[in-house]
Amino acid sequence: MIVTLAEVIELVKRLPEKALEEAKRELEKIKEESEQKSEMEIPICPHCEEKDVVRNGKKQGSQRYVCRKCKKSFVNTTKSAMYNSHSSETVWKQIIRDTINGVAIDTTAEQLAMERRTVFNMRHKILYCIEQEQQRNPVHLNGVCEADETYILESYKGTDISSDYWRKARKHGAVATKARLSDEYICICAAVERGGKSMATAVGRSQPSSEDITGVFADKISGDALVLCDGAKSYNILEKNGTCTVMNVSNDDGGFKKINNVNGYHSYIKERNRDARGFATKYLNRYLALFSIAYQKSDYLADDIYKLLCDSKNRYTTIAQTKSQNLLLF
């Protein structure tokens, strides 16, 4: 059973006055033991990756270290996504949880008494870091997999549309102006390993071509995998290139039931998009990177993401970089 921070806070609120002091002492004891354990661990040098590191005093409450090999000093967050952050671990983990659960930025900012822009920037640092990690270490699907595409409405959320743009601006949550599938929609190619991992990538405004399918799946599906799809010929390129075995199923023989795992993943993506009243298309692949790990429902996902942010393997990015790099532009 996984206990959330909100449940602990609610429980503390219900404690009688006499029990609050005891609860506080126990929590402080746990916190102290955790901090002592953390201080005992000597990190490797983020500059040269050598282990010959010693403590070098403290600065503004943070433990500093110096590498005897390259003579450079550093702190635990050097070269990590957390570098230069003034927010505590508690704040970061709360924003991570809210990002996973789809809590609105305004709600998070109000609960933490923070500026909305600050929470927005922190959220996108989290998303950017997850996306970069998946690009460095792409998911690999094995066994029986299901692949299919879905479509969601494009969104320029947070951006002013110019007067000469081909369509008029619409409110968040509005519907498309055209009745059928059109260039107002963004195509998302997704695949799910039965009982396991999942992935999704936005590829363009039209139905995916063989080149799109190859670009999305070629390095993410093992050669011994069996990929079930809904009959779209574009997926045959995977078998033609020797990437995997492809089996086309049609709705006539209950094909929609054979790929109901990937259809369920599509529903999850669309539900998250609907709850947010549309994700800005330029950030869509960042959210899809988050959904690929959130859909697996890992019990300690927030802790795993926090560790990723603290990783010192050149993950540091400025706010300007997270707003301008790897954007999805069609």
Q: Please tell me whether residues 59 and 177 are part of one structural domain.
A: no
The tokens describing 32, both together, are 């102290």
Q: Please tell me whether residues 157 and 281 are part of one structural domain.
A: yes
Domain's final residue, options 28, 49, 76: 76
The tokens describing 30, both together, are 């746990």
User: Do the beta carbons of residue 156 and residue 172 sit within 8 Å?
Assistant: no
In angstroms, the CA 206 to CA 239 distance is 22
Tokens 């999305």 locate to 216
Question: Considering the domain boundaries, does residue 91 fall inside one?
Answer: no
Consecutive H or E run containing 106: helix 105-112
Question: Considering the domain boundaries, does residue 121 fall inside one?
Answer: no
As beta bridge partners, residue 55 has 65
Q: Please tell me whether residues 286 and 162 are part of one structural domain.
A: yes
> What would the mean pLDDT of 12-37 be, rounded to a whole number?
78
Q: What CATH code is carried by the domain that includes residue 237?
A: 3.30.420.10
Question: Considering the domain boundaries, does residue 83 fall inside one?
Answer: no
pLDDT by residue (tens digit) across 55-67? 888 877 778 899 9
Question: Considering the domain boundaries, does residue 113 fall inside one?
Answer: no
Q: Please tell me whether residues 70 and 152 are part of one structural domain.
A: no
Question: Considering the domain boundaries, does residue 72 fall inside one?
Answer: yes
Q: Please tell me whether residues 172 and 271 are part of one structural domain.
A: yes
Question: Considering the domain boundaries, does residue 6 fall inside one?
Answer: no
In angstroms, the CA 262 to CA 191 distance is 6
Q: Please tell me whether residues 234 and 160 are part of one structural domain.
A: yes
Residue 14 backbone phi and psi in degrees, to 5: -90, -5
> What would the mean pLDDT of 185-212 be, rounded to a whole number?
91
Question: Considering the domain boundaries, does residue 263 fall inside one?
Answer: yes
User: Do the beta carbons of residue 82 and residue 96 sit within 8 Å?
Assistant: no
* Residue 216: closest CA among 272, 273, 138, 269: 138
The tokens describing 116, both together, are 């909305």
Range(s) of the domain holding residue 193: 141-292
Number of domains observed in the structure of the chain: 2
pLDDT by residue (tens digit) across 214-234? 999 988 888 888 999 887 788
| pTM score of the predicted model | 0.82
Question: Considering the domain boundaries, does residue 107 fall inside one?
Answer: no
Give me the pLDDT at residue 22, please: 84
Q: At what angle do helices 89-101 and 5-14 cross, to 10 degrees?
A: 110
As beta bridge partners, residue 50 has none
